Structure formats: C-alpha cells, structure tokens
Amino acid sequence: MFFIGCDKNSLVYEEIPQEILFSCIDYSKVTDPNFDSDDLYAFWDIFVADAKCSMTSNPDYDKLNTEVNIFYEYESDALFASGQVLDYGAYAATSCDDSRVRVGIAFRYWSDINIWQKLGLMYHEFGHDVLRYGHSSNPNDIMHPSSPFASTYNGFIESKNRFFEKKFDGLRYLDCSWYEDYINGVSEPDLPHLLHDCSIDHN
C-alpha cells in the first residue's frame, strides 16, 4: 500500500493490487459459482490441458491414459461410529501403469479444503499416477506428503509451475522396476508400492 493523501478525518490509502501470476490455463472457471467442484473429472480435464501447455514435451495425457477412474472414498459406518476417519487424504493406485489413472479421494478431506487446495491435491495425485513423482521434501511443493496445499491462486500457480518444470527440492521418481517384472509374469505385485497413500495434514 502507499499513502496518497488525507482529508480531515481519515488517511486515504490505495491498495496496490497483487500481481496475478500468468498461467496458460484460465482458472476463472473454477471460481465460477456454476463450477461443480465435486466433479473430480473436471480436475482431470484441467490437469490434462495444463500439462499440455505447461510442459515442454506437450504431452497429451488424455490420449495416453485410456482408463481414468477418480472416485471418493468414505468412512465405513463402523469406522465412523468409532469416531475415526480415513487415515489418508487421497491415494494414487496405478503410478507404474502409464495407460491408467486410478485415484481415490477421501470425501471428508475434500469437503474441508478450498478450490486451490483441491487443485493442489489433484495435481499431487496425478503427479504420482501420471508423472511417477515421489514425495518431495519441501513443504511448499505440491508433492510434499503432509503439508497443506497453497490456499490462494498465486500460491497454487507458483507451486504448480515448479511441479511441471520439475524444479522442486527433493524431486524423485517412484521405482517402477517391480512393475515390469509383474506384467511380464516374473514376479508378484509389489503391494507396498501398488497403492500410494498420501496422508495429508490439513489442520
């Protein structure tokens, strides 16, 4: 803010609007009252379009992934009755299979976060499932396992730019060597790696 004048009764300040960061995707539709933020596939469409214009290889993940399943997970009645909740925010189940996307979202967690955090969560899971990213060590990054996601437009844009440019601390990839052996019938599935749970502390 800067001081531009005063009158008898009050100082008058003018807000300098914060710079709106550029993105090749127009996100205004997600803040439109008509946007259905419970439609998880809408987030897949945004991610696909964003990857296409943000990544230097211009991938078309919609064509590469012929099977896309994104769904909610709910507490069972028994779990709910015992006062507990699901111990993860979301998970990606087909990280090593480049033709499929399978992502589960804990509905309770989804309902607690705002639209920029929802985008961060979906990009996190697609980061596992599509880009084979592991978890990063930087709490500001989309791929950090337990940090709250950026809750503002600019915060989301900054972190998703690093995400697509592969410029974030502790970037590592999931080990999918077991998967090749598994689909070739040489070994059993590596169950600890099959599901990639992401416990997300959002409090």
Residues near Zn ion, by CB under 5 A: 198
* Closer residue to Zn ion in complex, CB, 122/198: 198
Q: Give the span between the Cα atoms of 9 and 35, in whole angstroms.
A: 43
**Which residue of this chain has its Cβ atom nearest to Zn ion in the complex?**
198
Q: Which of 114, 46, 57, 87 is nearest to 200 (CA)?
A: 87
* Closer residue to Zn ion in complex, CB, 25/195: 195
* Closer residue to Zn ion in complex, CB, 46/198: 198
Tell the smallest beta-carbon distance from residue 130 to Zn ion (Å): 13
Angle at 202 between CA 199 and CA 203, to 5 degrees: 125
Tell the smallest beta-carbon distance from residue 177 to Zn ion (Å): 20
* Closer residue to Zn ion in complex, CB, 13/71: 71
Quote the tokens at residue 53: 């214009």
Tell the smallest beta-carbon distance from residue 127 to Zn ion (Å): 8
* Closer residue to Zn ion in complex, CB, 51/198: 198
Q: Are 151 and 116 in contact (CB under 8 A)?
A: yes
DSSP 76: -
Q: Specify the residue for token string 């880009």.
A: 131
Q: How many CB atoms lie within 10 A of CB 173?
A: 11
Q: Which of 150, 100, 126, 131 is nearest to 198 (CA)?
A: 126
